[in-house]
A and B are shown apart, each in its own frame.
Chain A
Amino acid sequence: MDLALAPETLARWQFGITTVYHFLFVPLTISLAALTAGLQTAWVRTGKEKYLRATKFWGKLFLINIAMGVVTGIVQEFQFGMNWSDYSRFVGDIFGAPLAFEALIAFFFESTFIGLWIFGWDKLPKKIHLACIWMVSIGTILSAYFILAANSWMQHPVGYRINEDRGQGARAELTDFWAVLTQNTALTQFFHTMTAAFLVGGAFMVGISAFHLARKRHIPVMRTSLRLGLITLIIAGLGTAISGDMLGKVMFKQQPMKMAAAEALWDGEAPAPFSIFAYGDVEKGHNKVAVEIPGILSYLANGDFDSYVPGINDVNKAEQEKYGPGDYRPNIPVAYWGFRWMIGFGMASLAIGVVGLWLTRKKFLIAPGLRTGEDEVPNLVLFKSKALSPKIGRWYWIVALWTMLFPLIANSWGWIFTEMGRQPWVVYGVMRTSAAVSPGVSQGEVLTSMIVFTTLYAILAVIEVKLLVKYVKAGPPELTEDDLNPPTKIGGDTRDPDRPMAFSY
Chain B
Amino acid sequence: MELHDVWFVLIAVLWTGYFFLEGFDFGVGILTKLLARNRPEKRVLINTIGPVWDGNEVWLLTAGGATFAAFPEWYATLFSGFYLPLLIILVCLIVRGVAFEYRAKRPEENWQRNWEQAIFWTSLIPAVLWGVAFGNIVRGVKIDGNMEYVGTFWDLLNPYALLGGLVTLTLFTFHGTVFVALKTVGDIRTRARSLAVTLGLVTAALALAFLIWTQVDTGDGWSLAAMLIAAVSLVGAIGAVKAGREGWSFALSGVTIAAAVAMLFLALFPNVMPSSLDPAWSLTVTNASSSPYTLKIMTWCAAIATPLVLLYQGWTYWVFRKRIGTQHIADAH
A residues sitting closer than 8 Å to B (CB atoms) are 63-64, 67-68, 70-72, 74-75, 77-78, 80-83, 85-86, 88-89, 91-97, 99-105, 107-109, 111-116, 118-120, 123-124, 163, 168, 171, 173-175, 177, 438-441, 445, 448-449, 452, 456, 460, 463, 467, 470-471, 490-492, 497-501, 504-505
Contacts and interface: CB of A to CB of B under 8 A. Distances in A.
B1 interface: no
B106 A470 contact: yes
A71 B93 contact: yes
Given A440-B81, A470-B106, A504 B302 contact: no
Interface residues of B, number: 78
24 contacts: A64-B102, A70-B97, A75-B90, A78-B86, A81-B80, A82-B79, A82-B86, A85-B77, A85-B148, A92-B73, A93-B291, A96-B67, A101-B301, A103-B65, A109-B312, A115-B53, A124-B319, A168-B73, A173-B294, A441-B83, A452-B91, A470-B105, A505-B46, A505-B104
Contact of A111 (B54, B306, B318): B54
A97 B297 contact: yes
Contact of A97 (B50, B64, B94, B294): B294
Nearest to B327: A498
B57 A111 contact: yes
B198 to A, nearest CB: 27
A168 B74 CA distance: 14
A120 B316 CA distance: 10
A174 B294 contact: yes
**Highest count of chain B CB atoms <10 Å: which of A78, A81, A82, A497:** A81
A115 B51 contact: yes
Contact of B327 (A95, A438, A448, A500): A500
Given A81-B75, A81-B78, A505-B46, A93 B290 contact: yes
Contacts of A93: 69, 72, 290-291, 294
Contacts of B321: 491
Nearest to B319: A123
B179 to A, nearest CB: 16
B298 A100 contact: yes
Interface of B: 43, 46-47, 50-55, 57-58, 61-62, 64-70, 72-73, 75-81, 83-84, 86-87, 90-91, 93-95, 97-98, 100-106, 146-150, 287, 290-291, 293-294, 297-298, 301-302, 305-306, 309, 312-313, 316, 318-322, 324-325, 327-330
A88 B76 contact: yes
Contacts of A504: 43, 47, 50, 104, 328-330
Contact of A107 (B58, B86, B95, B298): B58
Contacts of A112: 54-55, 58, 309, 312-313, 316
Nearest to A108: B309
Contacts of A173: 290-291, 293-294
A173 to B, nearest CB: 4
Contacts of B57: 74, 111
Given A75-B90, A112-B54, A467-B105, 5 more contacts: A85-B80, A99-B68, A120-B51, A456-B95, A470-B106
Contacts of A500: 327-330
A78 B327 contact: no
A109 B101 CA distance: 19
A113 B328 CA distance: 22
Contact of B330 (A83, A101, A440, A501): A501
Contacts of B52: 115
A442 to B, nearest CB: 8
Given A119-B320, A445-B84, A505-B47, A68 B148 contact: no
Contacts of B149: 440
A94 B291 CA distance: 9
Nearest to A439: B148
Given A72-B94, A174-B291, A67 B43 contact: no
B54 A77 contact: no
A77 B64 contact: yes
Given A75-B90, A100-B68, A85 B290 contact: no
A77 B64 CA distance: 8
Contacts of A168: 73, 147, 287
A107 B76 contact: no
Nearest to B96: A71
B154 to A, nearest CB: 13
B26 to A, nearest CB: 15
Contacts of B290: 92-93, 96, 173-174
Nearest to A66: B101
Nearest to A92: B72
Contact of A490 (B46, B90, B97, B319): B319
A124 B329 CA distance: 18
Given A70-B97, A504-B43, A163 B81 contact: no
Contact of A438 (B68, B80, B305): B80
A47 to B, nearest CB: 24
A247 B3 CA distance: 38
Contacts of A72: 94
Given A93-B72, A97-B294, A123-B319, A505 B97 contact: no
B83 A111 contact: no
Contacts of B287: 168
Contacts of B103: 505
